Structure 1
Amino acid sequence: MTRAVAAVVTLALVLAGCSGFVQQDSPETVTPAAVPTDGAGYPPGVSDEAVVPSVLASAHARTLATTNYTLATRQRVTDSNGTVLRRSNHTRHVAANKTTYAGQFRQNGTELNTFTTRIDYWTNGSIVAARYDGRANRPQRVKWTVRDDGPVSDLSERRMIRGIGEAVDLSVADRSDGGVVLVGTRFTDPGRLSTPLFVSDPRNVSVRLRVSHDGTVSALRLAFDAERSDQQVRVTQYLRLRNVGSTTVTQPKWVANTTQRSLQE
């Protein structure tokens, strides 16, 4: 495997969530959600009495699988003085077939030394094309044949939503014709929470989710204190869903100038 291909595979793993952003699923136990008899209904997996994370997360993913959308996530880690230690942004634009999508991933931090990661990617289900900064910040463009999943294994962030629901005690704070607002301030199983690299011992959590009646999570904010290399940090994570039904995905112009690579090289 060439050095360039190895770099691309590493970048693909980062985008797929293999750097501390995703927990593995636990066996799913589906519990029917309560059906309200008054006014506005509840999303799947939500009732006044309880939230069933697996049902809610699956409804979110299942609904998005039938349409096109843009989903953006942001994560920030700061120290006790408010200094940003790591910041990442990932935006993906997804077509209705789920096999065609494009995105941008940006990350900078100060682990060991200051670094910045920039990745643009596009796939049509048959090939993946990626553009990233190589040595001396020189842009590199490569493409390869899709195997199994594309560069992002969880486009809808289903696992993140489920993990938060399993880690934090969620309850309904507001309900309207547009959906519900879920909030939580108490950990029930912090081990289910996806944490950034080098971050442990999460505590003092606060989470807020806005959920439509079809189960889609349109907005999410998660914040908690934790430890990182013997210092206290604050982790804040955001998710925003937009342009549902109006997102278009076109092949970027730079794809035409990519170099074909084989994972057998």
Structure 2
Amino acid sequence: MKKKKRKNTSEMSFLDHVEELRWHLVRSALAIFVFGIIAFLMKGFIFDTIIFAPKDPNFITYRFFCNVSKFFGADGLCITDIPFKFQSLAMGEQFSVHIWTSITAGIILAFPFIIWEFWKFISPGLYDKERKGAKTFIIISSFLFFIGVLFGYYIITPLSVNFLGNYSVSNLVERNIKIGSYISLMRSTVLASGFIFELPIVMYFLTKMGIVTPDFLRTYRKHALVVVLLLAAIITPPDIISQVIVTIPIMGLYEISIFISKAVLKNELKKEKSNE
């Protein structure tokens, strides 16, 4: 079976491919800019309703853990106060935070379009049947990314804010947190979670390129668990509950990746037999 390629794609030089990639990046950047402008204009909603919500003890995540704690006859997970205040120490800090927060929101909201541009760039090198799966690829990739973003926002961020906000080396130290530090923590957590949840998609392409196999992923499952535990220890507070909460879904994604890798390899073997 031959690959059907875009017109003149096979005759394109390296510089032509670079030029095509440049325009895909330009359109992606433009989409981020447009959504970033929208986020910039929605300052009140973005900051008061979304960004600063994990600072409130009544945040949905805290209430959920409190209800779970009470279900088991305890209240150790109930939070009554997160004792720190926000402050801005630099003249342009709040404006800078506003800009970078808007860009981050633009990246998150424009992600489906960015994935679409990525697909258009690689699609000429795919089989016609694979190219027809564009909608499925975009939907699954976007779904995983948004699930990761929500996981980072509703799980990892509240755990980190609660632990770091309550941690103190001495009662003589006031808890006044720079707004840039708080938002940087949230931004890195949310984006990192979103991209980590793209693991099955990454494994799909690595398997198609012959870099990984299901046997390879099974063999190094224990090593992957160690890496995930280390990652969980870095991005979450140093307590067992938080690390387990983060580790379980990531290892679940790893197991899904093994299944996907197996399906891709099986499909490739079928194609080879049909060609023979």
Pair in the same fold by TM > 0.5? no
Shorter-chain TM range is: under 0.3
TM-score by length of 2: 0.23
> Going by fraction, where is strand more abundant, 1 or 2?
1
> Going by fraction, where is helix more abundant, 1 or 2?
2
